[in-house]
Amino acid sequence: MTSTSFTQRRPARRLVVGLAVVGLMAGTATAAPASAAPGRNDITAHTRHESYDSGQPFIVRGLVTINGHASRPGRLVKIQSSTASGWRDLPGVRVRTDGDGRYRVRVILFQDGERVLRAVGKRPGDVPNLYERFTVCIDCDFDDV
């Protein structure tokens, strides 16, 4: 190996190390495969029941994890509803995570039928947001099924 080829490779190694350090300082590490749970970015969404009456409040709870650890406090989480024209924010249904990366938000829906919703964990900058879909049924009569 000549000294020319060594010096050509050296800046590339510095760049990779520099990017890893910058990523760690910004609070994000390099992306890991989805199957690697410890480095996973995720959001969960849970409701107590699958069906609610129209106008009946219900609670959506969940956890936001970044790089396999609970999110920092204050990360924005909002609930969106699937419509024919795409995903729409439910007005006023947004909260921030607590010190353990958990959130709890109250939702009231009036439109009858099966509703496909999702929790959205907002991420800073150009980093993709986190999504978790879930379904609730408003004024559904399961006895007729």
Query: 58: closest CA among 100, 98, 117?
Result: 117
What is the per-residue pLDDT for 7? 42
Q: Which pLDDT tens digit goes with each residue over 34-74?
A: 333 445 789 999 999 999 999 999 999 999 998 889 999 99
DSSP string, 64-122: EEETTEEPPTT-EEEEEEEETTEEEEEEEEEEE--TTSEEEEEE---S-EEEEEEEEE-
What's the pLDDT band for 142 if we cut at 50, 70, 90?
Answer: low
pTM: 0.69
